[in-house]
């Protein structure tokens, strides 16, 4: 019995010593065995690195060779717009019509459809009895006026020397004034018929057999777009064609747009628009010159007219177009080009430049226009990002992820 008590007391003392040693050396005691090879710890380290920020390490030379463009992040304004359908029409200020004001017969047609003409160039010749009568009246009035002015001059000299009575002088002056009025009236009639100053002045030198002819001249420079009569045709009275040619100058064309009531308030006269041809992709700039205050009864749209330069005559009237009409700009604290954004793992991502390469950073986007996107979070002003060829960085990132998943 005594031996058992001594044995138990020894066990108790041993346990007490073990507990005291554990207290001084730290608790709990670790009994894990170290791996025999340090290589076993490597995957754990790699896995930890993989769960950090995703990145692509590239040097300056590699960035340059890959054609990756960089830019600092800054604020700006979003350029918003709406689209309006329309078509091209000739500029109404550049359309000229060769017409007659008397009953006449077409004697000559000197231009054909599509021919180019210069302002003042003779394009046709007509024959008219009314023209002959008007010219004859002018020539007669001119001769009468010359005679009466001569007589008036003589009477005035005699009246100053009191050789003739004052009553005779006054009657001569009245007759001279009447002759001058008739001459001016016949002259104005010729102007109304379309004769020019030089043609009227040259009438006394013209043969009598040409008095019934009238030369029709182009009112503007351009091309003959329509010919409405034939040689020998009767023109100039009700029921007859009065126009011989339509001449169009296409150095400028009009853009005729139909704008909805919801958008018309944003259109301003003098504002720029971008015109794109449907089917060809041609693009040009135009300027709004007219915004109709009325809505069309049938379509409920407002008419908007813009003028567009067309010196190379590339744009043809009748072409259907779509116009991009800008709206008021909206400021934003951070804007990045659309080309800079990539979708990585379903999230919009930017590649931010740092000392070793690029960090793939998820961002929160907001409003956008055709060129830029607003950044609401995940990016700070002044940081440098990849704005061109960023898809190569996305490809490198996905390649690295695939290799890691395979390992």
Task: State the average pLDDT over residues 294-302.
Answer: 91
348 in the same domain as 391: yes
Backbone angles phi, psi at 341, to 5 degrees: -80, 135
The tens digit of pLDDT for each residue in 248-269 reads 999 999 999 999 998 898 898 9
- d(Cα 58, Cα 66) in Å, to the nearest integer? 10
Say whether pLDDT at 245 is over 90: yes
Whole-number Å distance between alpha carbons of 64 and 114: 55
Q: What is the pLDDT of residue 10?
A: 55
Q: Confirm whether 20 is domain-assigned.
A: no
Of 232, 241, 249, 206, give the one whose Cα is nearest residue 124.
Answer: 232
Q: Is residue 8 part of a domain?
A: no
For residue 28, pLDDT beyond 50: no
- Span 310-319, mean pLDDT? 92
Indicate the number of domains in the chain.
Answer: 3
What's the CA gap between 305 and 313, in Å, rounded?
19
CATH of the domain at 369: 2.40.420.20
335 and 322 housed in the same domain? no
Q: How confident is the model at residue 372 (pLDDT cuts 50, 70, 90)?
A: confident
What's the burial of 165, exposed, middle or buried (CB within 10 Å: 0-12/13-18/19+)? exposed
363, 350 contact by CB (below 8 A):
yes
Look up the domain containing 311 and give its range.
Answer: 252-326
The mean pLDDT value of the chain amounts to 84
Residue 271 lies in a domain: yes
Q: Are residues 278 and 350 in the same domain?
A: no
Residue 306: CATH number of its domain: 2.40.30.170
Residues 135 and 202 in one domain: yes
pLDDT tens digits along 326-368: 887 778 888 899 889 999 888 999 999 988 889 999 999 988 8
* In a shared domain, residues 351 and 393: yes
Which helix (H) or strand (E) is 237 found in, with range?
Answer: none
Q: What is the mean pLDDT of residues 12-23?
A: 52
Of 313, 309, 307, nearest to 289 (Cα)?
307
Judge if 200 and 256 occupy the same domain. Answer: no
pLDDT digits (tens, 9 = 90+) for 168-205: 888 999 999 999 999 999 999 999 888 889 889 999 99
88, 254 contact by CB (below 8 A): yes
The position carrying tokens 């554990």 is 22
């Amino acid at each position: 019995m005594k031996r058992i008590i001594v044995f138990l007391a020894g066990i108790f003392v041993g346990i007490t010593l073990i507990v005291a040693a554990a207290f001084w050396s730290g608790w709990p005691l670790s009994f894990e065995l170290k791996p025999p090879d340090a290589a076993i710890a490597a995957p754990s380290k790699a896995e930890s690195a993989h769960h950090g920020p995703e990145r692509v390490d590239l040097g300056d030379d590699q960035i340059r060779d890959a054609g990756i463009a960089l830019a600092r992040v800054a604020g700006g304004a979003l350029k918003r717009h709406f689209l309006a359908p329309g078509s091209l029409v000739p500029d109404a200020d550049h359309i000229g019509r060769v017409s007659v004001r008397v009953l006449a017969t077409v004697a000559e047609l000197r231009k054909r459809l599509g021919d180019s003409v210069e302002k003042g160039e003779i394009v046709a010749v007509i024959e008219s009895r009314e023209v002959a009568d008007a010219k004859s009246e002018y020539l007669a009035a001119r001769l009468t006026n010359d005679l009466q002015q001569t007589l008036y001059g003589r009477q005035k000299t005699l009246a100053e020397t009191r050789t003739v009575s004052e009553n005779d002088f006054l009657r001569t002056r009245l007759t001279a004034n009447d002759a001058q009025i008739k001459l001016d009236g016949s002259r104005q009639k010729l102007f109304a018929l379309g004769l020019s100053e030089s043609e009227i002045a040259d009438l006394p030198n013209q043969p009598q057999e040409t008095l019934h002819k009238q030369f029709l001249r182009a009112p503007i420079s351009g091309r003959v777009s329509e010919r409405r009569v034939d040689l020998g045709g009767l023109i100039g009275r009700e029921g007859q064609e009065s126009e011989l040619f339509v001449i169009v100058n296409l150095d400028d064309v009009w853009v005729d747009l139909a704008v909805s009531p919801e958008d018309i308030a944003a259109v301003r006269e003098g504002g720029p628009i971008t015109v794109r041809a449907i089917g060809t992709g041609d693009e040009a700039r135009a300027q709004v010159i007219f915004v109709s205050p009325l809505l069309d009864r049938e379509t409920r749209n407002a008419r908007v007219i813009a003028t567009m330069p067309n010196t190379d005559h590339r744009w043809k009237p009748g072409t259907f177009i779509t116009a991009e009409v800008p709206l008021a700009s909206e400021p934003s604290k951070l804007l990045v080009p659309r080309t800079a954004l990539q979708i990585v793992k379903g999230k919009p991502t930017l590649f931010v430049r740092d000392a070793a390469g690029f960090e793939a950073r998820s961002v929160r986007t907001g409003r956008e226009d055709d060129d830029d996107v607003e950044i609401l979070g995940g990016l700070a002003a002044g940081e440098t990002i990849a704005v061109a060829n960023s898809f190569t960085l996305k490809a490198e990132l996905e390649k690295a992820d695939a290799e890691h998943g395979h390992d």
